[in-house]
Structures are given as C-alpha cells and as structure tokens.
Amino acid sequence: MRQRTATFSIIMLLCGVVSTALAQSADVVAINGKVFTAREGAELAQGFAVKGEKFIAVGSTEAMRTHGGAGTTVIDLAGRFVTPGLADGHFHNEGGGSGIDLSATRSIADVLAAVKTAASEAKPGDLIVSNSDWHEAQLGEQRLPVAAELDGVSAANPVVLVRGGHDYILNSAALRHWKIDKDTPVPDGGAITRDINGELTGELVDNAKRLVTLPPPKAVTVADVLTTQRKINAFGITSVRIPGSYKGEFFQALEAILAARREGALSLRYNIYLPGSGVRDPARIREIIGKSPLKQDEGDEWVRIGGIKLLVDGGFEGGHMSEPFAGEYGKGGTYYGLTVIPAKEYTAVVKTINDLGWRATTHAVGDAAIDQVLDAYEAANSEHPITGKRWAIEHLFVSRPAQFARMKKLDLALSVQDHLYLAAPALKNYLGAARAGQITPVKSYLDAGFLVVGGTDSPVVPFNPFYAYYHFLTRDTITDGVYGANEAVTSREDLLRMVTINYAKLTGEVDIKGSIEPGKLADFAVLSEDLLTVAAAKIPTMRAMLTFVGGREVFRDEAMK
Ligand SMILES: [Zn+2]
C-alpha cells in the first residue's frame, strides 16, 4: 500500500507541470488585442484568460496562449480595444416607459401632434400621460409647451406631460381635474409656474407635482428586467448603480430583479439605493429600511444594496443656487431654485441613516444644495464618522472650489453625469452662460483628487454611455456647441477609470471587479474603436462588439459573428 502511494506520488510529481496546466486550462483566451486593464501600474495588455466566472491571467498574446487547452475558446481580438465592463453610476432605467413617447420630437408642433394623436384615440375623460424621456432642449423653440397649446389639441381630455424627474406640464382640463388654479397655495419646495401675465402655464415643479396623482405604474416583471439588461449590455455596460428609483414601485421592482437573480437570468450587476427622496421624517427611514429584503451591502456580486438615496433640491429648473437664476427665470433676482427638503428635516434624516449604520448619497444640483448636504453630513460625521464609508453626492452641477476641502474631509465620492450634453441651452437660459459653461466640472473634480464616478441619469439623459464619454472629453453639447472646454477631461484613462475601477471602489467591490486582473470577475467589453486614441468626433457612434459578464457572453455585434 505504502509502495503504491509512493509510486503514485512520483508519477504525480513528474506530471505535475502538465496536470497543473490542464487544471488551469482556460475557458476563454483573448489574444492580439489592446486591453485597458485599469490595473494600477500595468494598464495595457494584449490579452487575458478566463476560467469560469473569473479572469485567471492577463498579459501578452504569447503568455495567454499557454492557458489554452482542448476546450478553450480563443477570441482573436485582431487589434480591437477591450475595457473592463463599463458601469453607469447613476442609472434609473433605459427609458421608453408607458405613455406618449416624446423622445423623437424636435419642435413644439411635434409634441402637440403626438398629444393630438393620443387624444384622438382616447375615450372621453381618459387621462393622457407622456413618458419622461424628453427635454425642451431638444425642441427648436427651446421651451416647454404651455397649457393653452395643449388645450388646442386636447380640450376635453386631461393631459400630463412628464418631463424628466422634476416637472409636469398640464393642460387646462388637467388643471381643472386636480383643482389647481391661481389660488392654489404653492407647496413648500415646489413651484407652480406663471407667465408674465400671471396666468398658470401648466408647469408644476418638484413638490408641486404632488398636487397631481398619476395612475400607479404597472408591475415590473422579470421580463422587464431582462429587457433592460439586454439593451444596455449591447453598449458594453455590465454594472449599474440604481439611485432610489428604477421602474414602477420601488420594492416591487427590486423583487423582480431579485427574482431574475434567483433564476440565474441576470447579465447585469446592480448596486441599489433605497428610495429616501422626499423623506422628512426619520421614522420613515426606519420604515424603508424595514421594508427592504436586503440590508446595506447585503446581497451578492449580482444584486447588492448600496445605501439610501436622498434629495435636497430640484433639477435643471430647480437646482438650489447661492446666486439667483438668470433673466426671466431669476424673477428679478429673487429665484434661487428649490429646497425640496428643509435643512433641519434633512439633517435629522441623515443623522438617522448614520445612526443606523447606513450610508447616504444625496441629489444636489446647485451649490447651495451642496452646502445643505455638507452641513448635514458634517453634523452626522461629528456623531459617528462617515469617512471611509463611501458616502457620496449625486450630480453636483454647480459647486464652489471652497466646498472641495469640506467634501474631501468627509471622504465623499462624486457621482457625475452628462446632463449638460442634452440640456445645455435650457441650462444657459436658467443660469446664464457663465454658470452654464461650468456645469458639472468633471476636470476640476478629478484634479482635486476626488473619487469621481461617471454615469448618465438615464432616462433623464439617454443611457448610451458613449454620448457621456464624448461630452466629458469635449464638453460639446447636442445642439449648442462646446460649454467650458476648460472642464474637458484630458486623460482618457481617467475617463475609463470613472466608469470601471472608480465605480467598483464606490460600491465597495474593488476586490471582485472594476479591472481586468486575475481573480476578478470576467466582466469586459470589446469596443468598436480604441477609446484611448479614436478621434473624439467618432466617440458618439461607438458601440460594443462583444460583452461578457462573469465569463459569459451576453452580447455580440453582427460584425463579430
Ligand atoms: Zn437620477
């Protein structure tokens, strides 16, 4: 017996090299590429090897070939560019929700024509609603339609146009239906817009939207979840961070995502923040946490809970600024935007989140809103430190350099998007050219050494990540040229880090993803162009050729077939 064991051991020793190679034989070997690994100190490679869900090697084509075996799929990249799987740091959904779709409209006449069609198909009294995937910056007139115009195409049926996340536009029938008139008190943290004659325009902003009750959204199904991931995997995206709202009712939608996870059907990784926008009462935070099937950082590499998303100010038309809005929007220098949650209540909510050991991220568009966030975060930090716990701020359109030191001291991550690309002319109207030109100063945030994470805020802005990359690198906008070239990101590697490794640092998953290196999840995308060298003008039309998530192919472009 002893003899046999010894002989066997010698054979094993002799075969050791071979058997190790067999055991390590990769499922996929990619060669002859230009691979941006996002690895510190070793950013470029020619290829990598994948076994199961993970990368097992990265390096030269020659070295990667040694990982091949009988069952290995070899991907000859033929010089193509590869990035770690792309992430969207602020993604709600891909858009295209129910209701009239106004995303293709380019004039007020187009909007009215779409409403007219819907009105002609509606029964008397039916409510006509749009989805939110449009912005007046896409319209030639560069303004919102008004109630009187909507009345011209739908006098009897109430109409509510939902624009982005902060605005409704109603026709007169809808204003009557919800009993909104010139005597209606303006809700705190909201606005009911009037024209120069004092007449209601039909626009309701932020908290004033609560005067209207829209029908509940339909239940989100597993099929809906799979549709979303299919659409965005096609752009090389493998991870999204969902800031407090997705589609439909939040917890029902979360359940659908978790059901897709249980079915093993996910091809997109989620970091999900619970919905705390609008919350003024700390008791409500406890309720929200109590309702969640998973606590903070619980879950797995597919679905994890990231924290709680809060909000203090409005959006394009309601960011809370320290300087008044411009022109007619400034209402004679008196309009500074909206405080959606008063400072005292917001601070109490933040402290409660911290007391409970959770983290917050807060929507803050204007610099006065950022002050409000920093005051509250500092108050919480003085009770129990929030540093090192990945707290963050979303958007930061307008900030003052003097705020950077406070943000740094709290160790905050900054989550930025390309709203300016879409909405530049509107933002110029609201804030004036000088301020609009410096909106979302990504270069300054990077230069100051913040952990900066990129995203889109889809469906407020289209989810196509290449639009965002183009904008961040050029500051060009869809309809109004370059805004503030000084804030263009100069390092394309920095840009890629914003949507790969920085994202993984923000979600606390840097040990398992965010770069192409052995031991990490094999999430990667082969792109149509070399993002490090391609002419900037070509970036908006770039696409993914091949997307892998966890070692599994989830998208392949026709040209790669
Ligand atoms: Zn958002």
The string of DSSP letters for 497-545 reads: HHTTHHHHHHTT-TTTSSS--TTSB--EEEESS-TTTS-GGGGGG--EE
Note the pLDDT of residue 493. Answer: 97
Q: In what order do the strands lie in the sheet with 54-59?
A: 54-59, 47-51, 28-31, 73-76
Nearest residue to 316 via CA among 462, 469, 137, 131:
137
Dist. CA 89 → ligand 1 center (Å): 10
Q: How far apart are the first and last CA of the chain?
A: 55
- Token pair recorded at residue 18: 């071979």
Note the pLDDT of residue 23. Answer: 56
Query: What is d(CA 420, CA 478) in angstroms, rounded to the nearest whole number?
Result: 9
pLDDT less than 70: residues of the chain: 1-24
Note the pLDDT of residue 98. Answer: 81
Query: What is d(CA 329, CA 428) in angstroms, rounded to the nearest whole number?
Result: 11
Query: What is d(CA 376, CA 237) in angstroms, rounded to the nearest whole number?
Result: 34
Dist. CA 324 → ligand 1 center (Å): 23
Note the pLDDT of residue 95. Answer: 87
pLDDT digits 0-9 by tens, 405-459: 999 999 999 999 999 999 999 999 999 999 999 999 999 999 999 999 999 999 9
pLDDT digits 0-9 by tens, 469-508: 999 999 999 989 999 999 999 999 999 999 999 999 999 9
pTM, to two decimals: 0.90
How far is the CA of 285 from the CAs of 209, 341, 355, 378, in angstroms? 22, 14, 11, 19
Whether 243 and 90 have beta carbons less than 8 Å apart is answered as yes
Dist. CA 101 → ligand 1 center (Å): 19
Tell me the pairing of strands 303-311 and 360-364.
parallel
* Listed residues: CB within 5 A of ion ligand 1: 457
- Token pair recorded at residue 457: 């805020």
Whether 239 and 523 have beta carbons less than 8 Å apart is answered as yes
What is the maximum span of the chain, computed from C-alpha positions, in angstroms? 103
How far is the CA of 378 from the CAs of 197, 222, 350, 372, 410, in angstroms? 44, 40, 10, 10, 7
| DSSP E strand stretches across 225-344 | 237-243, 269-275, 303-311
Dist. CA 541 → ligand 1 center (Å): 24
Dist. CA 468 → ligand 1 center (Å): 15
Dist. CA 460 → ligand 1 center (Å): 7
Dist. CA 312 → ligand 1 center (Å): 13
Dist. CA 439 → ligand 1 center (Å): 16
